Every structure is written in C-alpha cells, then in structure tokens.
Structure 1
Amino acid sequence: MRKILVAGLALASLAVGSAWAQAPAPLRIGVIGGFTGVFSDLIGGEVEAAQMAVDEMGGKVLGRPIEILSADHQNKPDIGVAIARKWYDVDGVSMITGIDTSSVALAVRKIAQERSKIDIHTVAGTVDLTGPACSATGAHWVYDTYALARVVGSALAKAGDDTWFLLTADYAFGHAIERDLTAVVTANGGKIVGTVKHPLSTQDFSSFLLQAQASKAKIIALANGGADSVNSIKQANEFAIGKGGQKLVTLVNFATDVQAMTLPLAQGLILTEAFYWDLNDETRAWTAKFRQRKDKLPNMVIAGAYSATLHYLKAVQAAGTDDAKAVMAKMRELPVNDMMTRNGKLREDGRLVRDMHVFQVKTPAESKSKDDLYKLVTTVPGDQAYRPMKDGNCPLVKN
C-alpha cells in the first residue's frame, strides 16, 4: 500500500508539473505615464481603458491570458527608460503604450528600437516620433503637433478668419507649433499679424495678451500648453478678449482641461480633438462602459489607450504570434475601426491617419449638463490633417 501511495503521489506530482509547464505564458502590455504629475488628470483612466480592450478580446489571445502592467515615469526620461528596460528585458512585456511627455516618449522609443519591441504612443505630441525618431516597431496613435496646428489653422482660415496673433511658449514645443501653424495659415491665404514669446511657467500674461488684443487680429492662438495654457485662458477672460470679437484658439487642450476650467471661463474656446464622448451613439455607448470603471469624462488620449490596445491585440490574433515585426505588419494591413476611428490606416512611418475634429466650447446657456462641453465646428479628413509621409524625414520612408 505504501508503494502504491508513493507511486500515486509521484504520478500526481508529474501531472501537476506537466500542466504547469504547459500553461501558456501571459501576453503582457505595459501602460506607462506620469500618473502623479502635472498630467495626472489628463491621463487618469488610461489603464482602465486598456483593460476594456483586453476584456473585449475575452481576456486571452492565442490561448494566452493578457495582463496589463502600469507604472509612473514621473515625467522623467531616465525613470521612463528604466521602466521600459525592465518591462522588455525582465517582465516579458510585448508592447508599451501611453507614454506622455515628449522627452520621455523619445527616450522610451530608443529602448523599444534597440530591443525590436513595440511602442504605441497615445499621449506625447512630438511629430518627431514619425520623423527622425520613427521606428519599424513603433506607432503614433492619437494626434501630433503638426495635426493640431494644421487642423484648426486650415479650418479657421478657410472660414474667413484670416488674421492671426500668436502667443508662443519660448521653448522647442512652442516653436514647433508656431512654425507649423504659420505655414498652414499663410498657405490658406491668412496672415500672421504679430507674435510674442513668453517664458515657460509664466504667471502674468497681461502684457502679452494686451499686445494680442491691440493687434485687432481675428484669432489669438495660444501656442503653449499645460498650466501656461490654462493661465493665459484665465487672464484672457479677465481682459474680456472673447467679448471683444476676437476668437481665442488653443492648440493643445482636452475635454478634461475644459471641464476643470468650467464653461464660464472656457466658453468660446476653439480646439482640436480626435474623440469627443458625445459625438455619436457609438462614442456615447463606449463612454457609458468606461464610466462604469472610472467615473470621469474620457478625453482623446484615454480613448486612444483603448483603441491602440484593441488594434494591437487584433493584430496579434491575426498574425498568430506576438513577434513585433509580424504584429506591426498586421497592424498596418488591418484597417483601424473603433468608436473613435473609421477606416484608419497605420502608415509606414508609424502615423495612424484618422479624422480630426474642430470643436468650440459651449456657453453655459448652451450646455445641458456638466459633461455637455463642445459643439462640432468641422471634421478634417485624416489625409488632410497629418504631415505627408514624404516630408517627415523618417529613415524608413523612401522618397
């Protein structure tokens, strides 16, 4: 009996060990962002949105369970690099997404390139991700600085708003936005009647705004972001610039920013987004599902986390592998169709081409609820919104 018992235990042990050995390794996706920094409200909800995509796939792909990892890069490139290295090298992460802050995004891109791993950027705006820093295994998913400038600039210039004054943050991001916007405005017959540059983290915009007001330009464009953008909007309201007939345009703002500012302050503001929760029945249905997980208004980068993750998983399924090059080939082959994209196309340089929308923030009288923020001005087709691939200096593209 003792021999039989020992033999039985040995067989059971072998069976358990065999089952354990045959258990498929999980497919891991990393969501990285500045979750405790100045962009925390902007990106809060990315992890939940990515998980929605996982659940939509049934939690598995190719028989492998899907796991979402998340980490805070604290808006520091060195921390972002350390996280990416550990995820790719130790934790077996196949794809990293999110990645706000352009300096962090470019640093993580280098790590992904070195390891031939996939990185899909849904938050950082730098157009260099599809230019000199493009990657055979990388994608830029939601928007970029070129599209933000081009979409709103061309739409307003064609509508007759032909004189512009630019209030620009005096660093690389502001200079790039000013350059791209100037090119778009002049190409559409408009004129830049004046510009003024302000230091990063300026507290007092009064002198800059008075110059803009005195210019009599039809459009005052804010080529800045974050706290600088919010502060300049607040102070423009104090000077009653909107009431004087001039339109205030911000090149980088989100629904979450507008809701934080409140409509009395943000009313009349013109901006560009790739997604708005109340655009159609599909966006409303998706938003209702998202808010069951996190009770906040999703913006385009939160929606983008879902979109990028879902398309990646569909490509893994279609490719029959998580090999980066094979998956990227499928991501380019398959059209992107979800609640924020119609027949989107992932180009060779990594740019996802999708329609972009110009919105105007409603007045308090026009709004029916705290989430009723925008009215649609126009929609710009993706092939008109993004920089032509031949102009990006991406080394993957043969002109």
Structure 2
Amino acid sequence: MRKNFIASVAFLLASGTAVLADGASDGKVKIGILNDQSGVYADFGGKSSVEAAQMAVEDFGGKVLDAPIEIVDADHQNKPDIASNIARQWYDTEQVDAIMELTTSSVALAVQAIGKEKKKIDIVTGAATTDLTGKACSPYGFHWAYDTHALAVGTGGALVKQGGDSWFFLTADYAFGYSLEQQTSDFVKANGGNVVGSVRHPLASQDFSSFLLQAQSSGAKVVGLANAGLDTSNAIKQAAEFGITQGGQRLAALLFTLADVHGLGLEAAQGLTLTEGYYWNRDDESRAFGKKFFDRTGKMPNMIHAGTYSAVLQYLKAIQKAGTDETEAVAKQLHQMPVDDVFGRGGTVGPNGRMIHDMYLLQVKKPDESKEAWDYFNVLATIPGKDAYIDPAKSGCDLVK
C-alpha cells in the first residue's frame, strides 16, 4: 500500500507539473520593449517601436493560449548599466517573458548576456553588431532586422563597384561602430579597395569638424560614416559646410534609415546610397502596413519599426505552436519556424539566432522625384539573405555544430 501511495503521489505531481507547463506560466505573456526614447536614436526606434509591438499584439488577437498579452517599455538612455538594471528588474520582479528592440549594440550585448544567464528570450531589432550571433551568441538570443555585415555588403559593396575603392571612416566609439567599420573594411579590401584611415568620435557628438577635416585631408574617395541616428545626420550636415562632396569625395551613410532621411530632408540627403531591410513604398502589402503605422504614429516605418512588429508577432506564433511560454520550448520553435510576414518574407532563423531575410539597396531620391510625403527611395537592388548575412557556420557562434 505504501508503494502504491508513493507511486500515486508521484504520478499526481508529474501530472500537475505537466499541466503547469502548458499555457502561460503566470496567466499572461509580458513583452518588454527596451530602447532609446530620448537620445540620438529616439527617431530610429523609440516610442514608434513600442507602437509597432502593440500593433503586432493586436493583429495576433490580443491573447495567446487564452492568456492576455502585455507590452511594457523603458528608455535605456544608451547606457548598458541602466539597461541591465531594467532587464534584471523586469525578469526578476515584473514577470517579463522576453525583451526586444534593444537599440545600441553595447546595450544589446549586455541584456543578451543576462537573458542567457536567466534563460530568457531576447530578440534584437535595433542593434547591429554581428557579435550577437557570433562570439556572444545565446541559445535564447535572436537577431532580427539587420546587422553590420548586411550593411557592409549592401552599401559598401555598391560603392566599391561604382569606383569607390579608397575609404576613410568616421566611427562611433562603441561596439556597433567598431563592428560596422570592420565589416565594411573587410568587404572593401576583399573587392580590391583599401582603407586609408579612420577616426573615432563619441556617441552624441555635436561637433564633427576635426573628424571631417581628417577625412577631407585623407584624399579617400569615400568617407564611410560608421555611426547612426543624429550622429550620422549631424555629420552629413557638417560635411556639406566643409564642401566634402563638392570636392569630389562621396559620403557613405552605412546605417541610415527612412526616419533619418525624413529628419535630414531630401535636399540634404539626395543621392545617398543606403541599405535597409524594409521599405514601406515597395509594394501593396508594405504600403498597407505603412499606412496603418502612419495613422498611429504620424510617420512611416523603417526597418527597426517593421522588424519589431515582426519579432513580436513571431514570438507569439512560437508560443502558440509550442503550447507554452516556457523558454526552451519557445526558443526551439523560433529556430524551427519559417518567418513570413510583412517584414520577413521567406525568412529563416539560423542555429546562431540570426534571422536571414532579403535586404534592399536604396538610393535617396532628388526632391523633384518624390511623388508624395515619405516617398524617399529608389530601390536599386534586392540583396538575397544568403548573401547579406554571414553563414552561421562561419559566424563564430559556439552553438553551431
């Protein structure tokens, strides 16, 4: 009888555990959008990424496995220590299941390390460094919208082919800038070009004069701006004051999005070549999403906004497919499920967490070419995902067999 009693208790406990493992573990699914909402990247992602995440929740139906879905957000101020404190608080005391967006590579790396430690999922759409799916990869970490390799292949590759075979870099002095400069330099050299020099500037610089003078005196055909957001816009404005393009040098904005072009204006941005993973005016489906987003935010989406929508939607689909929000089960589905939405058409996720999808080489229109508000780009080429992104086997991620 004692043996039968013990066996019965063990069965009931096992059954209870199985029941608890199904569905949402605490009666809800909570997603945190952590990004820059007040600094140089506020237009790049910011509150508009939060709105994109909310759109994904609404389009999914507001619930998953009969549990409500909640979006929370916070401003990390581009500081890894602040981001880390928020992430730990969200995970430890506020029942946040996954963190997404994570503009700024140093922030994304810090939060992904915490997610790895605590076995929590993060999906990065705002940061660019390939280290996220390389030496710093995590079984629970995913990189969604773009990365420095894709930008180097797109913008760097296009300019080298057009004769821009000597480069000087203005580089943001943190992980993202280093990675973007390195990836582009490697691509330039592999295609017969050379790098004649570089200079690093602090995040949120106001005065680029000394950096631009060094670029100008280098004689390089291309000045590569390995920065983003307001740093890139300010560098472009000040380059015009120094007559850099008038002197025959070309500016390569290596990370420049629709939001940045809008802020700078077509007059100043015309002719720039750039790479994005999404353009709202490319086809009917992207235009429909763009209009819906515009009605809520007053702006058209860039690849960070559309990528955040995609990441949230895919995460919810993975929970639905797994039948639980338990991390291991959801991460397994995220690695296995194809991505097919307005952003990641025909996308796949590699064993290193890199979502592989097509990128677009774009050129900013002249003011008289633009037919309507936010009609800023000509699509020069589609870059297949297999060409845009590093082969997972060569990424340096120790998860890849």
The TM-score normalised by the length of structure 1 is: 0.87
Q: Which amino acid aligns with 1:183?
A: D
Distance 1:37 1:213 in 2: 28
Partner of 2:198: 196
1:70 to 68, 73, 80: 73
The aligned runs of 1:102-181 (5 Å cut-off) are 102-169=105-172, 171-181=174-184
The aligned runs of 1:326-345 (5 Å cut-off) are 326-345=329-348
Residue 27 (structure 1) shift: 1.4
The aligned runs of 1:33-52 (5 Å cut-off) are 33-43=35-45, 44-52=47-55
Partner of 1:317: 320
Distance 2:105 2:268 in 1: 28
Distance 1:170 1:107 in 2: 17
Q: SS at the partner of 1:337?
A: coil
Per the alignment, do residues 316 and 36 of structure 1 end up closer, same or farther by CA in structure 2, a change over 3 Å counting? same
The TM-score normalised by the length of structure 2 is: 0.87
Partner of 1:264: 267
2:27 to 25, 28, 32: 25
The aligned runs of 1:275-294 (5 Å cut-off) are 275-294=278-297
Distance 2:283 2:393 in 1: 34
The 10-residue stretch of structure 1 (227-236 or 296-305) with the greater mean CA deviation from structure 2 = 227-236
The aligned runs of 1:226-241 (5 Å cut-off) are 226-241=229-244
Q: Which amino acid aligns with 1:28?
A: K
Per the alignment, do residues 166 and 108 of structure 1 end up closer, same or farther by CA in structure 2, a change over 3 Å counting? closer
Aligned length: 376
Residue 238 (structure 1) shift: 2.5
Q: Which amino acid aligns with 1:37?
A: G
The 10-residue stretch of structure 1 (144-153 or 129-138) with the greater mean CA deviation from structure 2 = 144-153
Is the Cα contact below 8 Å between 1:30 and 1:69 reproduced in 2? Answer: yes
Residue 288 (structure 1) shift: 1.0
Partner of 1:11: none
2:250 to 238, 243, 247: 247
Per the alignment, do residues 57 and 224 of structure 1 end up closer, same or farther by CA in structure 2, a change over 3 Å counting? closer
Per the alignment, do residues 172 and 90 of structure 1 end up closer, same or farther by CA in structure 2, a change over 3 Å counting? closer
Q: SS at the partner of 2:331?
A: helix
Is the Cα contact below 8 Å between 2:105 and 2:175 reproduced in 1? Answer: no
Per the alignment, do residues 72 and 171 of structure 1 end up closer, same or farther by CA in structure 2, a change over 3 Å counting? closer
Is the Cα contact below 8 Å between 2:173 and 2:200 reproduced in 1? Answer: yes
Q: State yes or no: 1:357 paired with 2:357.
A: no
Is the Cα contact below 8 Å between 1:205 and 1:232 reproduced in 2? Answer: yes
The 10-residue stretch of structure 1 (164-173 or 224-233) with the greater mean CA deviation from structure 2 = 164-173
Distance 2:174 2:80 in 1: 18
Is the Cα contact below 8 Å between 1:31 and 1:47 reproduced in 2? Answer: yes
Distance 1:45 1:249 in 2: 26
Is the Cα contact below 8 Å between 1:170 and 1:197 reproduced in 2? Answer: no
Q: Which amino acid aligns with 1:358?
A: L
Per the alignment, do residues 36 and 146 of structure 1 end up closer, same or farther by CA in structure 2, a change over 3 Å counting? same
Deviation string 1:257-307 (CA, Å, 9 cap, x unpaired) is 111111111111111111111111111000111122221221111111100
Q: SS at the partner of 2:347?
A: strand
Partner of 2:225: 222
Residue 170 (structure 1) shift: 5.0
Unaligned stretches of 5+ residues in structure 2: 1-22
Is the Cα contact below 8 Å between 1:349 and 1:394 reproduced in 2? Answer: yes
Deviation string 1:59-111 (CA, Å, 9 cap, x unpaired) is 11111111111222222222222222222222222211111122221221122
Distance 1:79 1:246 in 2: 39
Residue 214 (structure 1) shift: 5.7
- The structure having more radius of gyration, on CA atoms, is 1
Distance 1:296 1:171 in 2: 29
Q: SS at the partner of 2:305?
A: helix
Per the alignment, do residues 137 and 196 of structure 1 end up closer, same or farther by CA in structure 2, a change over 3 Å counting? closer
Partner of 2:382: 379
Distance 1:362 1:85 in 2: 44
Residue 45 (structure 1) shift: 1.0
Q: Which amino acid aligns with 2:318?
A: A
The 10-residue stretch of structure 1 (156-165 or 87-96) with the greater mean CA deviation from structure 2 = 156-165
Distance 2:62 2:170 in 1: 47
Per the alignment, do residues 93 and 205 of structure 1 end up closer, same or farther by CA in structure 2, a change over 3 Å counting? closer
Partner of 1:79: 82
Residue 129 (structure 1) shift: 0.9
Partner of 1:306: 309
Residue 212 (structure 1) shift: 4.2
Distance 1:267 1:328 in 2: 42
Distance 1:300 1:157 in 2: 24
Distance 2:400 2:245 in 1: 44
Q: Which amino acid aligns with 1:185?
A: V
Residue 203 (structure 1) shift: 4.5
Is the Cα contact below 8 Å between 1:174 and 1:224 reproduced in 2? Answer: yes
Superposition RMSD in Å: 2.3
Is the Cα contact below 8 Å between 1:29 and 1:96 reproduced in 2? Answer: yes
1:185 to 170, 184, 188: 188
